[in-house]
Amino acid sequence: MSHHDVILSAPRDLADSGAPAILQRSDEDFIEAVLASLRDAEGRIALRDNLARPTTIATGTDTRLRARRGGGRDLFNRLRAASRQLGLAGGRVAEAPAASDEKALLEGVRRAAEGTQVLKLFQPIQRQFNLAVMEARCDTPGEPRIDPKRVEGAGMVIRRLVRDAQGREVKQGWMRIGDNLKGWARIGTAADAAASGNRHDPEALRRLARPGTGQPVLDRQVTALLAAQDDALLNESVVPMFVAPPDVCKAAAATLFYGLIPTTSSEKAEGGAPQFDDAAFGPTTADFRNHLVGPLRGLADSFPRPGRALTPDLATIAGNAADTDRNAMKRLLLLLRQLAVEFDAFGDSAEADALMTQLNAIGLPLADAAGKPIEGSRPAGDFLAAAARILLNEESVSPAPTMPA
C-alpha cells in the first residue's frame, strides 16, 4: 500500500491559508449554519465575512523550519499549484476581496510575510463563538479528498509562543502527567524538529512509539531510554474536531473538519497563573488602546437603525451581510461587550459608578421614527446600560429606548 502526506488547510474557497479558517459567529445555532454554508462555493465565499480579523502584531512567531522538497518534485509541484486554482467540487476559487487602498494592501502583505498577525477571539460570555474549519486532502496531483472512514481521530491543540531569558522563541502546550495538571510546558525541540518531520503528537505513548527491531529486550530498552527524557510522559490537551456530515462532504467534494476553539477554562496550572504584565498591556500602552472599539478611543461613530426602538432581534443585523447597518451593529455590540465584560461598567462597584458618571456626561442625540435628528438627548450611560440588557442579554425593557441619531 502506498502512503503519501496529507495537506491540512482552510477550505480553499474560504481562505488561502495553510492554517485552519477561524470563524467568529454570534448566532446560537452557528454550527448548523456554518455546515450548511460549507456545502457550496457561494456559501463558503459568504463565510469570509465571518473570518476572525487580525488586530495587532505578535511578539512571537512560529519559526519552526519546514522540510524542503527535492527538485525531483518540480513537475508535481506545478501540477499541485495548478489544481489549487480550482475550488472545492471543481468550482473556480473566487478572488479574495481587494484591499481598500494600496497602503492597506502593502501592510497586509507585510504582516502575512512576517507571519505576525494576531487574531482577536472573544469569550462566550460576550456571545461570540470561534469555530475552526479545515479541509484534509491528499498531497498528490489533483489533491483529492482523503477518505474520512480512514481517519482514526482528529483534534487540535492550543499552543502559545513565548520567549525565554535569551530572547529565543519557545513553543508551549497545555500539559498533563497522568491525572495531574502541569499547565503550560515547553514542547521538546527534539520531538518537534523539522528534520524528523515529527509534529509532536500530543499523546505521550504515540511519541514514544517506534518501529520494532524484532528484539523484545532491545525494544523495551529503547522505550525506557526515551521515557527517561525530560517531560517525555507529558500529554497535551487536545480539543476534538469532527468530520462534517457525509452529505456536507459529498456536496463540497471535500473532507472537512470543524471544532470549537475554547477561549475560557476553569483549569489552573501548578503554581497559579502568571502575573498580569501591566507594563505590556496596561491602560497607557498602545496595544491596550488599539484593542478598544472606536468610541472608547474618542472616535466618532454612527448607530444602526436610528430612531428604532431597541429589541433583542436587532442584534441579528450583525450577522446579515446584505444589511447596510451590519458593520455599525457589529461595532455597537463590541462597544457593549467591552463596557459590560472588560470594564464592568454596568456593575455595582464604585469603579462602575464612576464610569457611568463619565458616560452619562455624554449626551446622545435623539432621532424620530424616520431616523432624522430631533431636539433633545439621552445620557450615554443610561442608553448603553439598557442596550446591553436588550442586545446582549436578550431582555425586554419597557419602555424600550430608541436608537440615537
pLDDT digits (tens, 9 = 90+) for 180-226: 888 888 886 544 444 344 456 888 777 777 666 777 877 777 667 66
Burial label for 104, CB within 10 Å (0-12, 13-18, 19+), is exposed
- By the 8 A CB rule, do 301 and 328 touch? yes
* C-alpha grid cell, residue 193: 524538529
Which amino acid is it at 374?
I
Whether residues 243 and 218 fall in one domain: no
* pLDDT over 70 at 238, yes or no: yes
Rounded Cα distance, 57 and 290, in Å: 11
Distance in angstroms (rounded) separating the CA atoms of residues 8 and 18: 7
Taken in order 141, 143, 144, 149, the sign of the CA dihedral is positive
Which range is least confidently modeled, 1-10, 28-37, 129-138, 176-185? 1-10
124 falls within a domain: yes
| In a domain? residue 285 | no
What would the pLDDT profile of 148-177 be if each residue is shown by its tens digit?
A: 888 888 999 998 888 777 778 888 889 888
Does residue 400 lie within any of the structural domains?
no
Distance CA 319, CA 23 (A): 12
Would the pLDDT of 76 be above 60?
no
pLDDT at 239 over 70: yes
pLDDT score of 114 more than 60: no
* Beta-sheet strands, E only, within 232-319: 235-236, 239-240, 242-243, 255-260
DSSP class of 392: I
| Residue where the block lists cell 472599539 | 293
| 183/38 same-domain check | no
Cα dihedral 8→13→14→15 (10° resolution) = 60
Runs of H (alpha helix) within 95-228: 102-114, 204-208, 216-227
- How far apart, in whole angstroms, are the C-alpha atoms of residue 153 and residue 24? 25
Tell me what pLDDT residue 83 has: 58
Mean pLDDT of 116-145: 84
Question: Which residue would you say has higher pLDDT here, 80 or 207?
Answer: 207
Distances (CA, A) of 184 to 158, 174, 270: 10, 5, 9
- Do 111 and 3 belong to one domain? yes
pLDDT-based confidence at residue 275 (cuts at 50, 70, 90): low
Q: What pLDDT sits at residue 341?
A: 87
Residues 193, 222 share a domain: yes
Same-domain status, 216 and 341: no
Taking the chain, what is the end-to-end CA distance rounded to the nearest angstrom?
Answer: 68
What is the C-alpha separation between 276 and 214, in angstroms, rounded? 53
- Quick one: pLDDT at residue 339? 95
Domain annotation covers residue 399: no
* CA neighbours closer than 13 Å in the CB half-sphere of residue 287: 13
pTM of the model: 0.62
Residue that wins the pLDDT comparison between 17 and 27:
27
Question: What number is the average pLDDT over the span 374-401?
Answer: 93
Span 268-290, average pLDDT: 73
Dihedral sign for Cα 167, 170, 172, 177, please. negative
Q: Provide the mean pLDDT of the chain.
A: 80
pLDDT at 338 over 80: yes
Rounded mean pLDDT, 121-129:
81
The verdict on 254 and 124 lying in the same domain is: yes
Residues in the chain: 405
Residue range 92-113: mean pLDDT, rounded: 50
Quote the pLDDT of residue 84. 59
Q: Are 14 and 1 in contact (CB under 8 A)?
A: no
Look up residue 73 and give its three cell numbers. Answer: 518534485
Task: Tell whether the model's pLDDT for residue 304 goes beyond 60.
Answer: yes
213 and 361 share a domain?
no
Residue of higher predicted confidence among 192 and 342: 342
Instruction: Mark whether 261 and 118 lie in a shared domain.
Output: yes
Q: Would you state the pLDDT for residue 133?
A: 96
Assigned domain for 1 exists = yes
- The Cα 392–Cα 346 span in angstroms is 13
Residue 12 or 359, more confident: 359
Which residues span the domain enclosing 362? 292-392
Of residues 99 and 28, more confidence is placed in 28
> Which of 130-139, 176-185, 211-220, 315-324 comes out lowest in average pLDDT?
211-220
Angle of CA points 257, 239, 16, to nearest 5°:
40
